[in-house]
Amino acid sequence: MVASSTACTDTADREGQVVLADGTTATSRVTSVSGTQIPTDRTITTDGQVVYTGGTYLLPWTDGEPRLYHWNPDGGTSTWHLTDQWASQTSLTAYRLTDTGRVDPVTVPVVDGAVTLTAEAGSAYVLYPTSELPTPVDPEWGQETAVNNPGFFSTDLSGWNTHGNASVEITDRGNAQAVLGEGKSSISQQLRDPENPAANLPAGTYSAWAWVEVEPGQTRRVTVTASGPGARGLDGTGKPVSASIDSSTALNATASDEKHRTYFQRVRVVFRSTGKPVHLTIAADKGSAPVRVDDVRVVPFTPADDPAPTAGTILFEDFEHVDTGYGPFVTGSGNAGGDARTQLAERHEPYSQSGWYGINQSGAVVPGGKLTDNVLRGDWSLMANEENNGLILRATSATLPLQPGHRYRLTMDHQTAFADTYSVVIGSDTVAAPPQEQERERIPLPQARETERFTHEFVVPADGTVPWIGIVKTGGGRQANLTIDDLRVEDLGRVR
Ligand SMILES: [Ca+2]
Ligand SMILES: [Ca+2]
């Protein structure tokens, strides 16, 4: 514990003691703590009464409704003398706190200004004056969004229509998520106006997705569909708009993601709403592989504006209106251990473009030293900034579905500061637990300090693996940067 003089009044701190402005005093014999340790060897008193000792506490709280929080790490019974503010109460009501609110109210008499509390290990409690119990507030999960209960934090499927075998589980990270069990199963709901939950999703163009994981090592078709009288494809046709996966093989390598090191990835549909009812459905076909679903989102969306459409184009991304993440890419497995240095880069001339100040190989910032543009066309591009070595980006079977036996052409514009630093990778995954990721081809990007177009054709093998494209970093150095834009994948048809 560090004694801080900034928090104290004219009462002088003594060694191992800190006095706060309101007279609260903390004492401890501990002289230092690590960044990951919760130090409990301390005693805190307020109004002369102990409110914390050895990790057990009954803390008065004055921010909002007056209340006390109780925690007893080992569980059991403890007696507390109340502070002046609380000692005149005749009784308090203690609730056990859970992920879904206060439960199990118990009336606790105040005897001679003290209460005796009994706690379960691992449970926190809140106490209110029995005369002033607050009314429970409906959390309105998904409030001001198009989806009711989008992250299943109600811990049930309220807000959703269910078919077959659907339930909610709590993960060991404390997250609630939906599970589609054995046999044809689905969850669906009618989307709503974020500003008026009683109204339909307003007319407009939207991106809708769920994070989905098919049990690793198993296959089962999972489909996200926007349907109903108000759902149209971007081309204006009235057929339901859907996207499917059969397995989950791409590691979630985003260190800041709650789903880090799972195989959850986004499955997305884009559609136009006419303003009539639109239903969003996440459905698992027949099968026994557990399918997990979480974090359903619907956001207004502007599709990429393709300046040179071709008949075979199955993906075009200009990075101008990415809904979330890196467009068709997700963080590659090479970045699973730390923070990525890839970003959607926004134009901000002259600072974002080549010729501005840049860092040289000696680490000095020099005028005119910036080697490449952060943005190639429009206002946004995808830029890898001195990335980690290894697979930094890859597509998934949801973001770029590729058919076995077909030939594809990948084109993209790029600027690459140095040769032998980044390569395009054509790869595939084997469905296994854990999934096995293989490179099939690695095509190095040349040095390109002006925008160049990269083109590569490849054939997807019909061997049951899950194909993908990606970017691997293979060399280092200051300003070892790559920017890409106008990524296009064309299906050239079945190979004979
Ligand atoms: Ca959740
Ligand atoms: Ca762009």
Residue 294 Cα, ligand 1 centroid: separation in angstroms? Answer: 5
Residue 320 Cα, ligand 2 centroid: separation in angstroms? Answer: 5
pLDDT tens for residues 126-148?
Answer: 999 999 999 988 999 999 999 99
What DSSP line would sit under 88-132, residue for residue?
T-SEEEEEEEETTEEEEEEEEE-BTTEEEEEE-TT-EEEEEEGGG
- Averaged pLDDT, 383-388: 96
Residue 90 Cα, ligand 2 centroid: separation in angstroms? Answer: 67
Residue 153 Cα, ligand 1 centroid: separation in angstroms? Answer: 6
What DSSP line would sit under 418-455, residue for residue?
STTSEEEEEEEEE--SS-EEEEEEEEEPPPEEEEEEEE
CATH class of 5-132: mainly beta
CA distance 418 to 341: 17
Residue 380 pairs in a beta bridge with 346
Single out the residue of 33, 30, 8 nearest to residue 18, CA to CA. 8
And the tokens for 351? 């600072």
Residue 434 Cα, ligand 1 centroid: separation in angstroms? Answer: 23
| Ligand lying nearest the CA atom of residue 306 | 2
| Ligand lying nearest the CA atom of residue 487 | 2
| Ligand lying nearest the CA atom of residue 211 | 1
Cis omega (within 30 of 0) for bond into 367: no
Would you place residue 5 in the very low, low, confident or very high pLDDT band (cuts 50, 70, 90)?
A: very low
Q: Which helix (H) or strand (E) holds 87?
A: helix 84-87
In degrees rounded to 5, what are phi and psi of residue 386?
45, 55
pLDDT tens for residues 153-199?
Answer: 999 999 999 999 999 999 999 999 999 999 999 999 999 999 999 99
Residues with CB under 5 A from ligand 1 (ion): 151-152, 175-177, 294
Cα distances from 191 to residues 147, 151, 267, 296, in angstroms, run: 6, 15, 17, 11
Cα distances from 57 to residues 52, 64, 73, 106, in angstroms, run: 4, 19, 9, 18
Residue 295 Cα, ligand 1 centroid: separation in angstroms? Answer: 6
Q: Which CATH number fits domain 313-494: 3.30.470.20, 3.90.1150.10, 3.40.50.670, 2.60.120.260?
A: 2.60.120.260
Residue 456 Cα, ligand 1 centroid: separation in angstroms? Answer: 39
Residue 361 Cα, ligand 2 centroid: separation in angstroms? Answer: 28
**Does the structural domain 161-300 have CATH classification 3.40.50.1860?**
no
Sign of CA dihedral 82, 85, 88, 94: negative
pLDDT tens for residues 193-250?
Answer: 999 999 999 999 999 999 999 999 999 999 999 999 999 999 878 888 999 999 999 9
| Ligand lying nearest the CA atom of residue 297 | 1
pLDDT tens for residues 475-494?
Answer: 989 999 999 999 999 999 99
pLDDT at position 2, please?
39
pLDDT at 4 over 70: no
CA distance 346 to 443: 27
Residue 177 Cα, ligand 1 centroid: separation in angstroms? Answer: 5
Residues of the chain with CATH 2.60.40.1180: 5-132
Residue 345 Cα, ligand 2 centroid: separation in angstroms? Answer: 9
| Ligand lying nearest the CA atom of residue 305 | 2
Residue 317 Cα, ligand 2 centroid: separation in angstroms? Answer: 8
And the tokens for 138? 């409906």
Residues of the chain with CATH 2.60.120.260: 161-300, 313-494
